[in-house]
Structure 1
């Protein structure tokens, strides 16, 4: 699509944000696990963490919840203290359990999002815990979570910013091979030193400020996983190399996808994105889906403490493996590969709001994305969206004992962020019979959107399924009371 045409579309207003992107809200009767899950999603929306940091944050939140809950179960073992916190039968009341969970979740939340502490104070007051009702329950929750935090503070994420400047800052001295590309201009071939490698972009953000991308979390593959032994435990084939037929074929496939996008495919692209201000981030998408499962199956606190724990740790391990591969291959994004391959050649753009696609210079090709978000600030291979979704789907399928999902969502006409007020031309309803179907649609949305090649999506799905299976296996051992030692924390 020509740059001028993209700029003419403008920037989406809050009214065009899809309904699923709204602030998380509690429903009457929601248990404390869901209340704190919503608090975590709200924190994601109101902070600036990237996808691997979000995956880790939600996993920590739910690990603290699980470890506090395990102290009140007759069998389960915690991740850090095993059965050391096991409470006597007389203490295992729903009231004490809820209180311990809430103090554990609060302890985690203020550690991960300290700037949002007033929000968590408000929730504690709503739950009746401005002051502890049971000092013993509070002590159990706090102790359980502090053990988790102590472990995670040395896991290689650099959450505390004690290894370099700023929280989660890179300590591996990553530097891009290619010079930045100005996305509002045709590609300058001189900026691409290696067409196999990631290229940062220069773009204008939603506030009208010019920004140059810095690679998000190049060290996050070093983070200690929950169940996996390392980011490269599950081997994936390498991506196609420049000069090969496969490299050209994968680029051509995305050009063809874009030129033939239907309204439904555009909706799929934007529905699953969950990126940017006002969104819960891709890992948060599946935490929200887990809430649907909880309400559908009428879960109690015991079921949700285990399910959210398994799902979020599956996503977390998938994120660690994904970011390890992204750093290892440092692979080129489609916006660079396509502009490089088709520089000076005529190709078709994506069709604007129902009009036929235009013939443009390949050096100006633009993915089906908002003008302020051409491509995420990290390498292509493998697809994080695909890995997160497949891992979560595997965990949900294993926990519920069925692949049945059964949810749907209606996206309103004109709610697009890419073509605000113009697309879709009518309301479109998406529905998913199974978790596997939802994960597959989530994956292919990244091809429709021009952000990932087919191999990146396929390998992401495979990697996610394997990570999800590994996490669920370890989770079931803990549920059964087996004291599984945690993976040795990283010491970068």
Structure 2
């Protein structure tokens, strides 16, 4: 089935200031050069494959490069990569001694650095020709020299310095563990389940109800509108190998699964397992995925439920749950939402927030679509850059760092805020996807259908009873009885689980004039609130990337601006009646999404993924908590660069290696396991006298090497390993 999408006109307002479209800059002629290049990156992301990890890295690298260009000319600030050794990679600035700063044009330096990065990073994009044209046109509009690869510092030309900075980030990116040279392909991850075909009933091919499952579609349409007939692989399950920004070795642990090793950052521990019948995991597993199906019943505007969605009623959330037992007290399982208290007054006006009554089903559908970013996606990290841009444009914003001191000029504000937010988004991606890759947790469509296929746990007196399946939740989860409209011919569906839920894409005959609505469906036919050509993101659920990205961004914006509230006390997005929703008619009225604080917006993001059928609560809460850690740490680390208090060398400076057995008996094999990036690894074996016994360069995508000890004399030896960026030396004994 092929869908043709309407254009979406987005309107973002912040207390009386309505800014047309998240997708285009306002008064671009008034924006800084850094802002203009950031807008180009956001446009490029919308016109590329939707890869949150890859684009979080792109956002960080562009932000850092522009910041480095600015910092090079500042008397106090220190660059991030320029002139530094980061994670073993050195951006050598010896040649910069010949550069005459007094002749330089900072805007031109930034522009050539930005151009170099964007043009290289999007060379394989399907729409590269259009993107490259835009980059060149911006250079012409700025009246700068056309693109060139020349980096001769002695020329004193601004473009040479910009090219040099940009190329440093390109070179660093080739060695940062992302596997960019092989198009970010996975090296060892393999799914354990056969794929699910959502257009068919149930989930008969799944074998492990704890693990992720690919989606088999005739045509897959990604969030940026690209079609593919190929099954989508897990995106970035090995992203824990990528070098972070502020995260350190203390933030990660090494874990093994299925014979492979994973770096896991900010490890939250395992999610509930379907087969954990002794420690409460099984019941909590069912509670989570049942709640996703229950919230799916909130997606109709015709159920006569009206909500006040103003900051007076929604926002100012309570403390996050500390353990599984606390979850039922945090979420409103049946009616939807959480127990947030709202805000009594707008701190900017001193007045109460005005009521904002809308049908719950319109609010939930708009929420799910808005935070999913729609078919023209800048992905979640890019979405928060867009929010930052519009905060920066607000006339009531005073551009003081942390709300203190002197007012920053627009360029300093932009490069510093981008650098902080970019670092946080990059670390959020590394944390969340390192967890996704290792725990490999199941998505709701796989779990709900797979559990329902087992039978019913409503009553042991009914046939098809299986205590492992879903139990009774009156009006939401029940069993099909004879005479039920779902019983089918010859009662073939009797005793199956039925759910009151969004009915799915088969009920939508016209994207602009019909909607699926909510009603009773067989659990084997349950769909998330997503397009039938997308269904669910191509990576594991636990933990929620949206929750991690959004909470990290909210923390950064709160600390950077020195105010937890949006400028003017409220941010607002208007979804117009019957214009905003993409794959069904709606909303039935104009819906204004409103947030008092950045954290309120973040919390709303997290809930949207439950209503959208993408995440259960257990994916959400750990993501939010990790986001707080990541955002806070990124802010503190970035501030050190502003103050000029960072060393010349930092990062993950050593390889993590195990050598076993040690001691090793002569004639036995010595196993060398490297838990870093070894596209190319030099291994030098040195004897007790300092003599080189063997010196080889290897390529081994499995990160494992075996050393034959037969023929070597007993004694003490040293292994020296180096992957071109970082190294390690290990002593071992042959007996």
Q: Could you give the per-residue CA deviations for residues 439-468 of structure 1, whole angstroms, max 9, x where no partner exists?
A: 111111111101001011111111111111
Residues 1:396 and 2:560 are matched in the alignment: no
Q: Deviations over 1:222-252 (max 9, x none)?
A: 1111110246342313211104110000011
Q: Please give the secondary structure, in 2, of the residue aligned with 1:198.
A: coil
Correspondences of 1:371-386 after superposition (within 5 Å): 371-386=532-547
Match for residue 383 of structure 2 among 285, 299, 309: 285
**Alpha-carbon distance in 2 for matches of 1:127, 1:89:** 23
Unmatched segments (≥5 aa) in structure 2: 13-20, 85-92, 148-154, 253-262, 276-281, 300-360, 400-408, 454-495, 508-513, 654-675, 679-735
1:387 matches 2:408: no
Deviation at 1:48, TM superposition (A): 1.7
- One of 310, 323, 334 as aligned partner of 2:433: 323
The structural deviation recorded for 1:201 is 0.8
Matching residue of 1:107:
116
Tell me the secondary structure at the aligned position of residue 587 of structure 2.
coil
Residue of structure 1 equivalent to 2:639: 476
Alignment of 1:22-171 (within 5 A): 23-25=23-25, 27=27, 28-82=29-83, 91=101, 96-114=105-123, 115=128, 116-131=131-146, 135-161=156-182, 167-171=183-187
SS at match of 1:358: strand
1:313 aligns with 2:423: yes
**What residue is the counterpart of 2:502 in the other structure?**
350
Contact 1:371/1:418, CA 8 A, preserved across alignment: no
Name the SS for the 1:347 alignment partner.
strand
Q: In structure 2, which of residues 393, 404, 413 is the aligned counterpart of residue 295 of structure 1?
A: 393
C-alpha separation in 1, matches of 2:186 and 2:515: 43
Indicate whether 1:445 and 2:597 are aligned: no
SS of the residue 1:469 aligns to: helix
Moved more, 382-391 or 45-54: 45-54
- CA separation of 1:50 and 1:307: change in aligned 2, threshold 3 A: same
Given that 1:331 and 1:381 are in contact with CA atoms closer than 8 Å, whether structure 2 keeps it comes out as: yes
Distance 1:459 1:313 in 2: 20
1:413 and 2:577 aligned: yes
> Does residue 250 of structure 1 match 2:288?
yes
Alpha-carbon distance change, 209 to 90 in structure 1, aligned in 2, over 3 angstroms? closer
Per-residue deviation, 1:212: 2.2
- Aligned partner of residue 521 in structure 2, secondary structure: strand
Shift of 1:14: 2.3
Q: 1:168 to 1:275 in 2, by over 3 A?
A: farther
Q: What is the CA–CA distance in structure 2 between the aligned matches of 1:145 and 1:356, rounded to whole Å?
A: 50
- Any conservation in 2 of the 1:195–1:242 contact (CA below 8 Å)? yes
Q: Does 1:425 find its partner at 2:588?
A: yes
Structure-2-length-normalised TM-score: 0.61
1:370 is displaced (CA, Å) by 1.3
Does structure 2 conserve the Cα–Cα contact (< 8 Å) formed by 1:196 and 1:332?
Answer: yes
* CA deviations over 1:267-306 (Å, ceiling 9, x no partner): 0110010154x22111110110110122123651011111
Q: Distance in 2 between matches of 1:138 and 1:483?
A: 27
Please report how far the alpha carbon of residue 219 of structure 1 lies from its aligned counterpart in structure 2 after TM superposition: 2.2
Work out the CA distance in 1 between the residues paired with 2:227 and 2:371: 25
Distance 1:287 1:345 in 2: 43
Q: Aligned residue for 1:234?
A: 266
Unmatched 5+ residue regions in structure 1?
1-6, 162-166
SS of structure 2 residue aligned to 1:202: coil
Distance 1:31 1:208 in 2: 35
Distance 1:395-1:199 versus aligned 2 partners, 3 A rule: same
Residue 6 of structure 2 is aligned to residue 14 of structure 1: yes
**In the TM superposition, what is the alpha-carbon distance from 1:49 to its structure 2 partner?**
4.7
Q: 1:346 to 1:136 in 2, by over 3 A?
A: same
Displacement after TM superposition at 1:216 (Å): 1.4
Other structure's SS at 2:387 match: helix
- Check whether the contact 1:311–1:392 (CA below 8 A) recurs between aligned residues: yes
CA deviations on 1:414-433 (whole Å, 9 max, x unpaired) are 2354543x211111111111
Q: Would the alpha carbon gap of residues 160 and 118 (structure 1) be closer, same or farther in structure 2, given more than 3 Å must change?
A: farther
1:4 corresponding residue in structure 2: none
Counterpart residue number, 2:319: none
Change (3 A) 1:22 1:356: closer
What per-residue deviation string (whole Å, max 9, x for no partner) do you get for residues 157-188 of structure 1?
Answer: 11122xxxxx11112x2111110111101124
- Structure (1 or 2) with the larger CA radius of gyration: 2
Aligned equivalents of 1:417 and 1:356: distance in 2? 13
Whole-angstrom CA distance in 1 between matches of 2:515 and 2:677: 53
CA-to-aligned-CA distance 1:464-483 (integer Å, 9 cap, x gap) = 11111111111011111123
Give the number of the structure whose residues are more often helix, by fraction: 1
In structure 2, what is the equivalent of residue 461 of structure 1? 624
CA distance in 2, matches of 1:88, 1:393: 42
In the TM superposition, residue 147 of structure 1 has moved relative to its aligned partner by: 2.4
The separation in 2 between residues aligned to 1:288 and 1:318, in whole angstroms, is 17
d(CA) in 2 for partners of 1:266 and 1:283?
21
SS in 1 for 2:181: coil
Residue pair 2:543, 2:620 contacting (<8 A) in 1 also: yes
Q: Distance in 2 between matches of 1:275 and 1:146?
A: 33
Give the match for residue 521 of structure 2.
360
1:383 to partner: Cα distance: 0.5
Counterparts in 2 of 1:150 and 1:212: CA distance versus 1, 3 Å: closer
Question: How much does 1:120 deviate?
Answer: 1.1
Contact kept? 2:236, 2:437, Cα under 8 Å: no
Distance 1:309 1:92 in 2: 25
Task: Report the CA distance shift for 1:319/1:235 in structure 2 as closer, same or farther (over 3 A).
Answer: same
**Counterparts of 1:435 and 1:129 in 2: how far apart (Å)?**
37
Structure 1: distance between partners of 2:639 and 2:227: 49
Residue aligned with 1:201, SS: coil
Deviates most, 221-230 or 289-298? 289-298
- Give the whole-Å Cα distance in 1 for the aligned partners of 2:227 and 2:605: 30
